[in-house]
Amino acid sequence: MMGVFGEPGLVLTEGDGCYVTDADGRRYLDLLGGIAVNSLGHGHPALVAAVQEQAARLIHTSNLFTTPGQVALGERLLEIAGAPEGSRVFLCNTGSEANEAAFKLARRTGRPDVVVLEGGFHGRTMGAISLTSKEAYRAPFEPLVPGVRRVPYDDVEALRDAVDESVGAVLVEPIQGEAGVVVPSQGYLEAARRITRDAGALLILDEVQTGIARTGEWFGFQTLAPGLVPDAVTVAKGLGGGVPVGGLITFGPEVSGLLTAGQHGTTFGGNPLACAAALAVLDTIAGDGLLTHVVRRGEHIAARIDALGDARVTGTRGRGLLRAVLLRDAVAPQLVVAAREAGFVVNAPTANAVRLAPPLVISDAELDTFVDALPTLLDRAGEKETS
Ligand SMILES: *Cc1c(COP(=O)(O)O)cnc(C)c1O
């Protein structure tokens, strides 16, 4: 394997519910869910059955044809997004690919520039890294796609100043995941909506990490800014429960008409297997009341971590089951290792933040095992730092 991912932490062979098992037979509580992907955990019967049945029936057709599952998934996405009449969906395979489609949509406004926020992460393909904030991801690959303007996060004035008549779109993560689960101030998304509308630019929300019930509503914007209507939303990660599937949702007929026949495409996007998986995920979230479940579990773990009263934890951030545990000291990477040794999978998006994005089906009792272990994990992380 190419070295781009660094040294792998584990060799995993099996998964069951919220647990994964490694090649030595050790079990780990999966508090990362494949980075907000395994929405239903591992081996969920509804997802397994949907994939098995669809695999036996029809796996792939090409986009010269459509399938009932593809149409059904498109309709379901529009419904949960609260999209108006005339809205459309483009199905693809990954978050980066969804954002590439959004980038092309923005260019079709006839205005060349896109405004993005500092700290934002939008993927690793050439277009998506051009939109991404982190210098270390971009610098080795210059020259990148031109026309990207960066403004400070959560700064309404800076955004207003940046959005002029050459800006086709503003691209925003409702909660910045890779930056360490950073939530904007109340009213920021609404301000972004007003600014873009006044300037005639699109408001595109990157919901690749926050979408599909992760924050306790179907989409992060519905949690943070109820009633807001964006121009487009990108999704991926949690949608297929582990089967690669992503999408661009465009709101209303005008935006939905920007990309026309022949202007975009994908071979695998929206194939029947991926659509069956995504429909099983959406049906299970709705049918099992997982939106409420996610809100309650998220509040539970945040309250339990606060109640520890450990001075080495300065707080938590996030909504639903996308949370960061904030550390006083820059020992998040060491804590990830200590957690793994103790049987927990978490990750460290920054040196001071540990991210939790567990399966949406996780229980309070499972979450509690991590909170109970946290003081000891912090001891061990401290020892690793000094040794
Ligand atoms: C993960 C992520 C992406 C990239 O998704 P890939 O499937 O890895 O291409 C884009 N945007 C956000 C907000 C993400 O969290």
Under a CB-based contact definition with an 8 Å cutoff, are residues 364 and 300 in contact?
yes
Q: List the residue whose alpha carbon is closest to atom 5 of ligand 1.
A: 95
What is the model's pLDDT at position 226? 97
89-102: pLDDT as tens digits: 999 999 999 999 99
Distance CA 319, CA 311 (A): 22
pLDDT band at 331 (very low <50, low <70, confident <90, very high): very high
255-302: pLDDT as tens digits: 999 999 999 999 999 999 999 999 999 999 999 999 999 999 999 999
> Could you tell me if the CB of 206 is within 6 A of ligand 1?
yes
> Could you tell me if the CB of 238 is within 6 A of ligand 1?
no
* 124 is an annotated ligand-binding site residue: yes
Q: Which CATH class is domain 3-30+290-386?
A: alpha beta
Judge whether residue 387 has pLDDT over 80. Answer: no
> Could you tell me if the CB of 214 is within 6 A of ligand 1?
no
Distance CA 373, CA 368 (A): 8
What is the model's pLDDT at position 170? 98
Question: Which helix (H) or strand (E) segment is 293 a member of?
Answer: helix 290-308
Q: Which atom of ligand 1 is nearest to the CA of 246?
A: 7
Strands (E), 96-142: 113-117
Query: What is the mean predicted confidence (pLDDT) over 37-50?
Result: 98
> CATH number of the domain at 47-287, out of 3.40.640.10, 3.40.120.10, 3.40.47.10, 3.20.20.80?
3.40.640.10
Distance CA 263, CA 284 (A): 34
Q: Which atom of ligand 1 is nearest to the CA of 237?
A: 7
Does the N-terminal peptide bond of residue 143 adopt cis geometry, omega within 30 degrees of 0? Answer: yes
Judge whether residue 199 has pLDDT over 90. Answer: yes
User: How high is the mean pLDDT of the chain?
Assistant: 97
3-21: pLDDT as tens digits: 999 999 999 999 999 999 9
* 267 is an annotated ligand-binding site residue: yes
Instruction: Please report, for residues 48, 293, 340, the alpha-carbon distance to residue 273 in angstroms, rounded to integers and kept in the order given.
Output: 11, 27, 33
pTM: 0.98
Better-predicted residue by pLDDT, 7 or 370: 370
The Å distance, Cα 307 to ligand 1 centre, comes to 32
Distance CA 170, CA 115 (A): 5
Task: Kindly report the number of other CB atoms within 10 A of residue 376's CB atom.
Answer: 11
Distance CA 231, CA 245 (A): 21
What is the model's pLDDT at position 243? 98
The Å distance, Cα 236 to ligand 1 centre, comes to 7
What is the model's pLDDT at position 385? 81
The Å distance, Cα 96 to ligand 1 centre, comes to 6
Judge whether residue 386 has pLDDT over 90. Answer: no
> Could you tell me if the CB of 113 is within 6 A of ligand 1?
no
Q: List the residue whose alpha carbon is closest to atom 15 of ligand 1.
A: 209
Domain boundaries, the chain: 3-30+290-386, 47-287
Under a CB-based contact definition with an 8 Å cutoff, are residues 336 and 161 in contact?
no
The Å distance, Cα 207 to ligand 1 centre, comes to 9
The Å distance, Cα 99 to ligand 1 centre, comes to 8
